[in-house]
Structure 1
Amino acid sequence: MVTIAAEPGTKPSKKTTFDARPTKTTAIQDSKSYTAFRIFNATAIILICAVTLYPFLNIVAQSFSSEGFINAGQVNLIPRGFNITTFEVVMSDPMFWRNYANTVIYTVVATLIAMILTTTLAYALSKKYLKGRTFFIGVAVFTMFFNGGLIPNYVLINTLGMTNTIWAIVLPNAISIFNLLVMKAFFENFSTELEEAASIDGLTTYGILWRVVIPLSKAVIATMVLFYAVQFWNAWFQAFLYLDRRELYPVTVYLRNLLAGATGTEQLGGESAESTQIASNVRAVTMLLTTLPIICLYPFLQKYFVRGIMLGSVKQ
């Protein structure tokens, strides 16, 4: 409490007081409808997460369970009769690691090529002064709904001599039109003042893209890298179609052959009891081993989804 008294020589007046204590803020309470919405929203998200995670957790539990409990249908979320025999046998198969290395190579090379082509094409199409821009965008969108078909594509790849090569895997799907349109929309909202300033400083179009645009587009680039990496990592049909030699298969085709019974468990080695254990959970083990690396990639790129697509850009 602060009291202000009258100055000497002046007529006494009523003292004026000011309360210097901070006023208490009043918290805004949520309405009943908004509280009900939050409860419903949280419940729905929890249920969706549970439904999504259950199949994966069940596969993890089966991969570490013994054959008796799996065949009896007693494995849900917790492993029963802990057993790692199948892990030891599958991971000792040289062909599994050969196909695994092929998958890594195919994914890295394909993602690199796809990002270079998608980024450059999206940046060019984002410029409204580009001649023929509407035509090129229309051609790109047209390919989202129509394609030549399976047989013409196979004939084309075979005629180009790309069968049984890495190029049959990485080139046909090098550009995803959906990813292209997303990046084009991002570049259209990019600050033109920065590009004009860089142009005044003497940078060429490629210099502006490499030294100005790309460093400020890390969020959308990381997002596209994740989309492409997941796409190429999980792809198997093109390899199954264009590759004839087992040593060239990606690990997804290795898994497909196990699921289809094309590769018998006896090829993995082991005695009769060991073969029975392998047959019971070899599918769960190979699924876990193939999906685990791509799942581990998400935490490193998740921050770009949280911070937003416009991370690092300059607001106009």
Structure 2
Amino acid sequence: MEIRVSGTDRLFKWLIYALLTIAALLVLFPLFYVLSVSFSTEKEYLTRGFYIIPKTFTLDGYGYLMAHSGFRSAYTNSVVISVVGTFINIVLTTLMAYGISKSWLRGRGLFNFLVFFTMLFNGGMIPTYLVVNALHLLDSYWAIWLSTAIAGFNVIVMRSFFQSIPVELEESAKIDGCGEWRLLWRIIVPLSMPAIATFTLFYLVNNWNTYFNAILYLNDNHLMPLQVFLRQMLIEDDPSITNASNLTFRYTPAAKMSAIILTALPLLIIFPFMQKYFNKGVMLGSVKG
């Protein structure tokens, strides 16, 4: 059966394409400019003005950063914080969401209320710092990992996803001798990959962009993540902050832009591999059957 498309529908479709194309260009344009400057010389940046394609192609900015021990250390710190932190986040979130999704759990209503309560109220910065200090976690990555271990919203959404899995599937697995742990890791987790992948990406982005918690709980410069290093680049090159008489511009525009590209690169690489799960995961709870 042939479906006829009216002229109004075609016009609307092309209008949507045009708007999406404009939106994509607005998003990609700054990225192209940053990428272009990262491959340029300082002289071209200062004399040529605005441009997209550099006349002189150079990797000096990237080479300078790769030789910079502070940048390498900060990059390694961010990788450690992100990988370990995301693992802790997703494991604890999955376990908690699975537990409170079960009707047989005693005190389930109280646990659900406590999770929801944390979305509305929290102790605040100073009380949290005092708790971290009392636990002797300052100058330790555990201060960052444990203070942001679980997000209440993610727990509630994942709980709803677990509740949507047919009870008959779990009952048949238990009849075959499957215990709770085996049921969770062998059956529930594989079926929940869209939700887990979505929240893994959320947690990963949050851990990779860690800045405030790092400067709050970490005093050792050797432990600082990449975002703090990028801020330090701006401070060292800003004459209004540093002593203008002793100011030395250590970071060229190419080095700064190269730092931005290298900072965004891991997430740009990871997202395409998780996109098929992410597209399903963002629709969690949008349809009630």
Q: In structure 1, what is the Cα distance between the partners aligned to 2:97 and 2:221?
A: 37
Cα offset, 1:84, TM superposition: 2.0
- Return structure 1 stretches of 4+ with deviation > 4 angstroms: 306-310
Matches within 5 A, 1:300-315: 300-306=273-279
Quote the Cα distance in structure 1 between the aligned partners of 2:237 and 2:105.
Answer: 52
Aligned AA (1:35): R
Amino acid in structure 2 at the alignment position of 1:134: G
Equivalents in 2 of 1:138, 1:249: separation in Å?
36
Q: CA RMSD in A?
A: 2.4
Counterpart of 1:102? 77
With structure 2 as the length reference, what TM-score do the two structures score? 0.87
Distance 2:238 2:217 in 1: 19
Matched, 1:285 2:243: no
From 101, 106, 128, give the equivalent of 1:153: 128
Bigger radius of gyration: 1
- Match of 1:171, SS state, is helix
Using structure 1 for the length normalisation, give the TM-score: 0.80
Distance in 2 (alpha carbons) for counterparts of 1:154 and 1:277: 34
Question: Structure 1: which amino acid aligns with 2:258?
Answer: V
Shift of residue 279 of structure 1?
Answer: 2.6
1:294 equivalent in structure 2: 267
| Residues 168-192 of structure 1: per-residue CA shift (max 9 Å, x gap) | 1211111122221221121111121
Query: For structure 1, which segment, 288-297 or 178-187, has the greater mean C-alpha deviation from structure 2 after superposition?
Result: 178-187
Residue of 224, 235, 240 corresponding to 2:215: 240
Deviation, 1:276, is: 6.1
Unaligned segments of structure 2, at least 5 residues: 240-247, 284-288
Higher helix share: 2
The 2-side partners of 1:119 and 1:168 are apart by 21
Number of residue pairs matched by the alignment: 277
User: Structure 1 residue 46 and structure 2 residue 21: aligned?
Assistant: yes
Q: Which has the higher contact order (CA 8 A, sep 6+)?
A: 2
1:188 aligns with 2:163: yes
Asked if the contact 2:237/2:249 (under 8 Å) is kept, the reply is: no
20, 31, 48: which is aligned to 2:6? 31
Amino acid at match of 1:281: A
Give the AA of the match of 2:253.
S
Unaligned runs of 5+ in 1: 1-25, 265-274, 311-315
How far, CA to CA, are the matches of 1:35 and 1:249 in structure 2? 54
Q: Which moved more, 1:170-179 or 1:74-83?
A: 74-83
SS of the residue 1:91 aligns to = helix
Deviation at 1:287, TM superposition (A): 1.0
